[in-house]
Structure 1
Amino acid sequence: MTYQSKTFFSSVSRKSKFSSFSFIAALLLFLVLSFNANAAKRKDASKIWVGTWSTAPYFVDANNRAPVPGLANNSFRQIVRVSVGGDVIRFHFTNLFSKNDVTFKSVGIAVSTGGSSIDVASAKVLKFAAKEEVTIKSNEELISDPIKFPLKPGMKVAITICFGDAGPEIGGHAASRTTSYLLEGNQPLTADFSKAITTDHWFVTSGIDVMAPKTTAAIAILGNSIADGRGSGTSKFNRWSDILSERLLKNPATKNRAILNLGIGGNCVVRGGQGEPAAVRFDRDILSQQNVKWLIISEGINDIGGVRSADQAAKMANDLIDAYKTMINKAHAKGIKVYGATILPFAKSSYDKDFRHPIRDTVNNWIRTSGNFDGVIDFEKVMSDPQNPNTLLPDLHSGDFLHPNEAGYKVMGEFIDLKLFE
């Protein structure tokens, strides 16, 4: 009996020790998992979405649509250059300004290695709510699911869309200054596009966000064709915004500053022009971007070029200034600093009329002296001819006395003080 009791209590003791050990092990496992989960949360909390590339969408007219055989049921590869990098990204697509729904059978991304070629090993397929195929309704926009992708600063990314339905009227950015590639049929992401039809347009794709440290922030540019890069080299990525981006990335104090170019060729500030006027598109194209901390406004020359008489001149100057004030106030309400870029001279161009030059002088003087802007980027100072201040320097324009050439854009991009963005 005594022996049995000892055995019984010994067994109970061993069970108690085992139970205690199990409890401690479970507790330790719980603590480790909780620590890892909290660490992951802290890691996620230390990062934010930041726009690393963007372009302003607008209605693409019949002269700038995709070439035959069109986008429907075919594959279209577009190349973009990002600014800041990261390991998790997501893509924005737009069907604004379209009367047709657009279907993606699949969308692939890869590192661009030049021309239509890609690094096949880097290729990945995007998903939308965990599915590859998706339809964007007319006048709607879409964001992809986040995807892991080793995005390097300044990297060129190829975006290959296999379209289903895609009517002829479609939104995009016609003046891409970058060659895209159209291949007949729904081709695999890694297909050879070397024999594709080329076109210098972007369609449907409108932005890329990257998950980045909280110290990362974006600089948005609101502008016209001079921001959009008319006169720059096709697929050379040498707009003044590209030159600025390269400088920011190389400078230790600004290496985490992204550039978002929302310029539209022919765009106006208050009325007319290509795309919606800047005052109308401002909330969508600027304020909806991810983590913008600075804004450069480089607009106005097309409004001035549209003035038909001396009687309209004073009103146009006042309208531009009022629009600038409204945009500055909206940006300031979002904590965004706003820098005003002076309007370039246009004598000898198609805009050259005696009554138009005083408008530019009035607006530029206001930009420099009113104190409404947080800073001034005086492009006129480095681009105008000292012998004829109303004219661009002869070696810095593209031949039309209105748009800079590649050398001119280099001067503009290198002129901007990086300390504005520290």
Structure 2
Amino acid sequence: MTTTWIAAHRSAVINPHEAFHLFEPRGFSGQTVRQSVRLAGGGEALRVRLSNRYGKEPLRIGGAHLAVRTRAGGIDPASDTPLRFSGAETADVPVGEEIISDPVELPVSAGEELTVSLHLPDDTGLSTYSAVPYDIGYAVPGDQLSAEDLDGAEELPLGHYLTGVDVLAPEGTRIAVAFGDSWIEGAATTPGTDNSFPSQLGRRLTRGWIVNQGISGNRLLTDEIGDHLLSRIDHDVLTVPGVSHVLIHIGLNDLGLPGTIAHPDPAEGPTAAEFTAGLTALADRLHAAGLTVIGSTIGPYHGTVYDGYDTKTGQAVRREVNAWLLGDSHPFDAVVDIAAAVADPDQPDRIRTEFNSGDGLHVNDAGAKAIADAVDVTLLDL
């Protein structure tokens, strides 16, 4: 099996010592939750991955169905298929664990949109979530797994429990994992359009595809929103079926917001030497697993709320790290100059106006396309 869709999950609580939440946490009880996925690649069968990795209570799955999406939360009833887990239509996911459904024989192709509906009969507690879903999810009371439409549904801006879809692809199919922060995840691109830069880059590939393991707010060196990148390698890269390449963007949060989200007071961030040592450790661990590793320069962020949080050294460190990445001593197989692709040529610490999502920190759909277009697809060579 090869992964065709994935979403990196994180705890509903950012800092357990302060119980601070970046997004309003929530749970479910006696409800059906329906979420959509857009497949990056196709195959002759598929299976679904569910997670209770950060849950505080056992997760009871009263039923799970797979169907072809029609519109919003609607499905094609003729395609509605129960998922089974070790032959059963119900499952219990212990705290900290994940489960994989039995394979379903269903030919699917790249770009196809499916829905996964979960009946959650018991109180779930605060859920593990993904912050930037590929589309809006829906929740309704009771068991409505096979409902063609979900009337009066509550819209869910975050993803819950669903962490991956694998397909039975042709032998030798290889994929790239896009790994990093909000620029990977696609924050500020238009929801439901699949316009993150890894997705737009993936549509340029003629073989293989890219799956997204970005976490908005993620850091290279320290935990804050999600485990830091160095600690995510085993779970979020090495266990992904079919991975052969890794495409990385990280650093904005280490350098721009070195304090905590709960207490964003000015704080000292890592030095350039500390950050490059972290990138070297990252590349070395991925290379040791036999993967091709593509780094990238750190995107511009001047003119954002981050300006008031660090000690004004973050931009200087970013420039020093980027110069190292563009030189000859970095440890990557190749480096993509993401910063140059979207920077204002007159003020290179800022995002160009036409690529600015409006917050000065993230790129819009056009900016994501500019990044995707800046990548030499032969670097992936999937």
Fold conserved between structures, TM > 0.5: yes
Matching residue of 1:76: 33
Aligned-partner Cα distance in 1 for 2:223–2:60 = 31
Aligned-partner Cα distance in 2 for 1:287–1:175 = 22
Structure 2 spans left out of the alignment, 5+ residues: 14-20, 260-264
Structure 1 spans left out of the alignment, 5+ residues: 1-48
Aligned-partner Cα distance in 2 for 1:305–1:287 = 28
Residue by residue over 1:299-338, the C-alpha shift from the partner in whole angstroms, topping out at 9 and shown as x without a partner, is 111000134799945x432222122112211111221100
SS at match of 1:360: helix
| Cα offset, 1:224, TM superposition | 0.9
Report if the CA contact (8 A) 2:60-2:124 is conserved: no
Describe how 1:199-238 pairs up with structure 2 within 5 A: 199-238=156-195
Report if the CA contact (8 A) 2:51-2:162 is conserved: yes
Describe how 1:286-325 pairs up with structure 2 within 5 A: 286-307=237-258, 312=268, 315-325=270-280
Report if the CA contact (8 A) 2:256-2:314 is conserved: yes
Instruction: Please state if 1:125 is matched with 2:82.
Output: yes
Aligned-partner Cα distance in 2 for 1:311–1:143 = 42
Q: 2:281 aligns with which of 311, 326, 332?
A: 326
Report if the CA contact (8 A) 2:64-2:145 is conserved: no
Matching residue of 1:24: none
Matching residue of 1:100: 57
Aligned-partner Cα distance in 1 for 2:377–2:226 = 30
SS at match of 1:213: coil
Describe how 1:185-264 pairs up with structure 2 within 5 A: 185-248=142-205, 251=206, 254=207, 257-264=208-215
Matching residue of 1:398: 357
Instruction: Please state if 1:60 is matched with 2:8.
Output: no
Matching residue of 1:346: 301
Aligned-partner Cα distance in 2 for 1:280–1:212 = 29
Structure 1 residues 135 and 310: CA distance shift in structure 2, 3 A: closer
| Cα offset, 1:152, TM superposition | 1.1
| Cα offset, 1:177, TM superposition | 5.0
* C-alpha RMSD over aligned residues: 1.8
Q: 2:69 aligns with which of 97, 109, 112?
A: 112
Report if the CA contact (8 A) 1:64-1:174 is conserved: no
Residue by residue over 1:95-119, the C-alpha shift from the partner in whole angstroms, topping out at 9 and shown as x without a partner, is 0111100111111011112211112
Aligned-partner Cα distance in 1 for 2:246–2:348 = 27
Aligned-partner Cα distance in 1 for 2:253–2:145 = 43
Matching residue of 2:290: 335
Structure 1 residues 419 and 110: CA distance shift in structure 2, 3 A: same
Residue by residue over 1:351-405, the C-alpha shift from the partner in whole angstroms, topping out at 9 and shown as x without a partner, is 2364211110121122222241001111111111111111110110111111001
Report if the CA contact (8 A) 2:118-2:145 is conserved: no
One-letter code aligned to 1:355: T
Report if the CA contact (8 A) 2:54-2:96 is conserved: yes
Aligned-partner Cα distance in 1 for 2:188–2:58 = 34
One-letter code aligned to 2:346: Q
Matching residue of 1:29: none
Matching residue of 2:16: none
| Cα offset, 1:270, TM superposition | 0.7
Aligned-partner Cα distance in 1 for 2:362–2:241 = 30
One-letter code aligned to 1:321: T
Instruction: Please state if 1:368 is matched with 2:326.
Output: yes
Q: 2:348 aligns with which of 389, 394, 416?
A: 389
Residue by residue over 1:51-96, the C-alpha shift from the partner in whole angstroms, topping out at 9 and shown as x without a partner, is 1111111112464334xxx522210100111111011111111101
TM-score, normalised relative to structure 2: 0.91
- Percent identity between matched residues is 28
| Cα offset, 1:214, TM superposition | 2.3
One-letter code aligned to 1:378: D
Residue by residue over 1:220-263, the C-alpha shift from the partner in whole angstroms, topping out at 9 and shown as x without a partner, is 01111111111111111111122112222xx3xx2xx1211111
SS at match of 2:326: helix
Matching residue of 1:90: 47
Instruction: Please state if 1:416 is matched with 2:366.
Output: no
Structure 1 residues 74 and 349: CA distance shift in structure 2, 3 A: same
Relative to its length, the structure with more helix (as a share) is 1
Aligned-partner Cα distance in 2 for 1:290–1:84 = 13
Report if the CA contact (8 A) 1:51-1:258 is conserved: no
Aligned-partner Cα distance in 2 for 1:371–1:265 = 25
Describe how 1:142-221 pairs up with structure 2 within 5 A: 142-221=99-178
Matching residue of 1:35: none
Matching residue of 1:21: none
TM-score, normalised relative to structure 1: 0.82
One-letter code aligned to 1:338: V
Q: 2:233 aligns with which of 271, 275, 282?
A: 282
Aligned-partner Cα distance in 2 for 1:384–1:153 = 32
Count of residues in correspondence between the two structures = 364
Report if the CA contact (8 A) 1:177-1:229 is conserved: no
Report if the CA contact (8 A) 2:46-2:106 is conserved: yes
Instruction: Please state if 1:51 is matched with 2:3.
Output: yes
Aligned-partner Cα distance in 2 for 1:323–1:93 = 31
| Cα offset, 1:414, TM superposition | 2.4
| Cα offset, 1:175, TM superposition | 2.6
| Cα offset, 1:339, TM superposition | 0.3
